[in-house]
A and B are shown apart, each in its own frame.
Chain A
């Protein structure tokens, strides 16, 4: 398996623009997580899905952030409008609730810079 795939790997945009981050989880995994990592706040969970349904979005910072999972193999995290303080590395992770292996597998992340 190719692991969790994220795109783009790097994104530079200007304040006010819409940003869409994409994630393809590992095939067969039924949980998908979006995290944000900054120097100041470390790694924070934004939202997670189970079987494509959002379960907990309490970590989503503002209404400017939204996430969708239209099917089991694809999820997006959208920021509109983007602000400089959104600059961070955004990680997607997935896990399989069955099989006895209780760990999350992380993608390589998307480094977002908002100017």
Chain B
């Protein structure tokens, strides 16, 4: 059974600092990995999807890396802003299902 772990569970940083969020998974036989953002009281929004053949994916200030062999992915958010405050979840597919980590709750202080 695929287990997805995210560390840390919560993170508080001053505005402008870079963020590093970690995700690990137990079964490396994945074909992609996704990072989602969840704002309080809202649904999930897909941020980045990395295919297993890729090592990283970038979108604006966000960069996600994937190391399948070690079962790890990292989400980097450069020059954080208060608007980046949210919970970030990673997910890996299992057939057509997604297994989610518990998320990292980020607070960016102005």
Q: How large is the interface on A (under 10, 10 to 19, 20 to 34, 35 or more residues)?
A: 20 to 34
Name the interface residues of A27-58: CB closer than 8 Å to any CB of B: 31, 33, 42-43, 45, 48, 50, 55-56
A62 at the interface (CB under 8 A from B): no
Expressed in whole angstroms, the minimum distance between the Cβ of B22 and any Cβ of chain A is 16
Q: In the complex, which residue of chain A has the Cβ closest to the Cβ of B89?
A: A43
Q: Contacts of A43 on B, CB cut-off 8 Å?
A: 89, 100
Q: Is the interface of A mostly helix, strand, loop or mixed?
A: strand
Stretch at the interface among A14-22, A77-85, A99-107: A99-107
Q: Contacts of B96 on A, CB cut-off 8 Å?
A: 31, 48, 50, 55, 95, 97
With A50-B96, A56-B97 known to touch, is A104 a contact of B46 (CB < 8 Å)?
A: yes
Check B44 against A42 for contact (C-beta < 8 Å): no
**A93, B89: Cα distance in complex, Å:** 15
**A102, B31: Cα distance in complex, Å:** 10
10 pairs, CB–CB < 8 Å, chain A vs chain B: A33-B98, A42-B100, A91-B43, A93-B44, A95-B96, A102-B32, A104-B46, A104-B98, A107-B43, A108-B42
Given contacts A104-B98, A106-B44, A108-B42, list 20 more A-B pairs with CB under 8 A. Answer: A4-B43, A31-B96, A33-B97, A42-B102, A48-B96, A48-B97, A50-B96, A55-B96, A56-B97, A97-B96, A102-B32, A103-B49, A104-B46, A105-B46, A106-B36, A106-B45, A108-B43, A109-B42, A109-B43, A111-B41
Interface on B for A, CB 8 Å cutoff? 31-32, 34, 36, 41-46, 49, 89, 93, 95-98, 100-103
Interface on A for B, CB 8 Å cutoff? 4, 31, 33, 42-43, 45, 48, 50, 55-56, 91, 93, 95, 97, 102-109, 111
